[in-house]
A and B are shown apart, each in its own frame.
Chain A
Amino acid sequence: MPQLNDQKTKPAIPVKINYYTASRMKVADFCLGFFGVLLVLVVLFSLPSLPWLGGSDMISIISIVVMLFCIVQAFRKGRKFIAIGIISIILIPILVLGSCLVF
């Protein structure tokens, strides 16, 4: 009865290993996502315009693509607090810059 044996050995729902065993690991991952992206953006935008990057527009597009990739990868690896850190650093400027009215 090979089928029955298979059913016994394979769990019905794939077991997810929880990466976070302590609260400080969550805080560390959040800081990694938040400050990591902040640092990368500061470095990228302070670089002199590099011809092969195609100016600041291209840097913005590359940054967005890389950040989206990092968010997806962080969720896939079970390290969701890195993704939350990255999303936070993207959202905060949207919240605080400018004012309530378009000017």
Chain B
Amino acid sequence: MLDEHYYPNNWGVRPVLFHFGSLDVQSYPFFVLLGLVVGIAIYYFEAKKQRCLSENGFFLAFGSIAGGIIGAKLLDWSANYRFIIAHIHDLQFLFSGRTIIGGLIGGATGAVVTKKILGIKEKRGNLFAPAVAMGVAIGRLGCFFRGCCYGKPTALPWGVDFGDRILRHPTQLYESLFMLVMFAVLQKVKGGEDIKPGQLFKFLMISYFIFRFFVEFIRVEPSAFWGLTFFQIVTFTALTYLVRDDIKYLIIKLKHYATA
């Protein structure tokens, strides 16, 4: 896995975004932090608009963000466990690496755990969904400028050279654009009367996992099982879990039609 992912320090479209005095502002931390701040701001203003700002809401947001950060690291460590064990003493390797799939799963788990601890009954997924979509859309720009999460070589006119003189799919920008579209869609449908609490976040997760499953085919990722990458297997498993009720309903319907 390391050979395919290795990149030297000058790798990326613009690893250092700008200079602030003697300080080099790295593009990855800049956009990830910007995504986090913008996401929190969207959540805050949306909660304020809907008059549901509360301390519980703050703890729920904090629990989700903490869960997201931990989940993003844990899934990445699971994918690269051999490499992590081999470099356990090197903080640079331990800090680097995270995945948005783990972030989404961890964020949802963090929210569930926080609710259980504090005894919160209300669902806030509809408030979180647009914030998460915009946060990821901005954060992925950091991946693009830094040169991680890149795609396979392509002859398409929008192929990008990340430093090895090979034009590649800018998969980071595909994801960023997808999340921007999702943000617009969520903003459009959020006010609908038939939207159930928490439904928008589930919709965002399902959409992203389907999108990510197909994007993995053009990303530089080694295959884990049956020609699928580790993240494709994770997204498929997560998708199955998310739509389990619909699958059960479909099976009951099919049985009903078969017996009728």
Q: Are B66 and A97 closer than 8 Å at their CB atoms?
A: no
Tell me, rounded to whole Å, the shortest Cβ–Cβ distance linking B197 to chain A.
25
Size category of the B interface is: 35 or more
Pick the contact of B98: A57, A88, A100 (CB < 8 A).
A100
| Chain A residues within an 8 Å CB radius of B1 | 102
| Chain A residues within an 8 Å CB radius of B149 | 100-101
Bitwise, A76-101 to B at CB < 8 A (1) or not (0) is: 00000000100110011111111111
Bitwise, B19-56 to A at CB < 8 A (1) or not (0) is: 00000000011001100100000000000000000000
- CB nearest neighbor in A for B79: A102
Q: Are A95 and B36 closer than 8 Å at their CB atoms?
A: yes
| Chain B residues within an 8 Å CB radius of A103 | 5-7, 93, 96-97, 148
Q: Are A99 and B66 closer than 8 Å at their CB atoms?
A: no
Tell me, rounded to whole Å, the shortest Cβ–Cβ distance linking A98 to chain B.
3
Interface residue count for A (Cβ, 8 Å)?
17
Q: Is the interface of B mostly helix, strand, loop or mixed?
A: helix
Pick the contact of B95: A84, A88, A94 (CB < 8 A).
A94
| Chain A residues within an 8 Å CB radius of B143 | 99-100
Q: Are A95 and B32 closer than 8 Å at their CB atoms?
A: yes
Pick the contact of A102: B5, B28, B70 (CB < 8 A).
B5
Complex CA–CA separation, A77 to B169 (angstroms) = 53
Residues of B at the A interface (CB closer than 8 Å) are 1-2, 5-7, 28-29, 32-33, 36, 62, 65-66, 69-70, 72-73, 76, 80, 83-84, 89, 92-93, 95-100, 142-143, 146-149
Residues of A at the B interface (CB closer than 8 Å) are 57, 84, 87-88, 91-103
**Additional A-B contacts beyond A99-B96, A99-B148 (18; CB < 8 A):** A87-B66, A92-B33, A95-B69, A95-B72, A96-B28, A96-B33, A97-B95, A98-B92, A98-B97, A99-B28, A99-B97, A100-B97, A100-B98, A101-B7, A102-B83, A102-B84, A103-B96, A103-B97
